[in-house]
Amino acid sequence: MADIQTIYQETIKFAAEKHGAQKVKGAKIPYVVHLSNVTMEIFMAARKTHGFDLGYALQVALLHDTIEDTETTRQELEMVFGKDIADAVWALTGDPKLLKEYRLSDSLAKIRQCPREVGAVKLADRITNLQAPPKSWSKGHISDYLFDAKQILKALHGSNEYLEARLAAKIEEYGKYLKVERSESLKV
């Protein structure tokens, strides 16, 4: 088994190549920054969680959007990283065959069948995504995103205590974006 640094370096190179010039939604930041931020949450969770499989979790974190957001297939991930990683990334992927409103619940059901580290990656992903929403988002979109975050937290209860507490705090904090918009609309 390779050391953690080698696993990280090989995996982030693969992910960076696959995501190419993709940017974080609503920002000019390269997408690989999002992947490294999710992975940092995983590193911190591993330090605070007994028996946490860091090598597996960091690969899943770095690859979590490759099937959903790039041309990468589940089969390619399995050839390069093995079946366990490919299955985990597939669980984190919204199934494009489903209507958009059913993708999250389907993904959460798949995640619950995986090792707890996969749930930790989903929690870390949402923690990282609960930044200031893009200016183009409506109040409804912000509200829906907040609702989804609450669903993730509820569905993945027991996956990782540290990340659950972090996500709960981020959800509380993210609520301000609804209040700001409401107070701005009252001024009109």
Give catalytic residue positions.
Answer: 68-69
Contacts of 157 (CB under 8 A, 6+ apart): 164
Q: Which residues touch 58 (CB under 8 Å, ≥6 apart)?
A: 4, 7, 8, 11, 39, 42, 43
- Residues in contact with 175: Cβ distance below 8 Å, sequence separation at least 6, in sequence order: 146
Among 52, 50, 32, which Cα is nearest to 42's?
52
- In a 13 Å sphere around the CA of 168, the CA atoms on its Cβ side amount to 10
Residue 60, Cβ density class (10 Å: 0-12 exposed, 13-18 middle, ≥19 buried) = buried
Token digits of residue 20: 């190419």
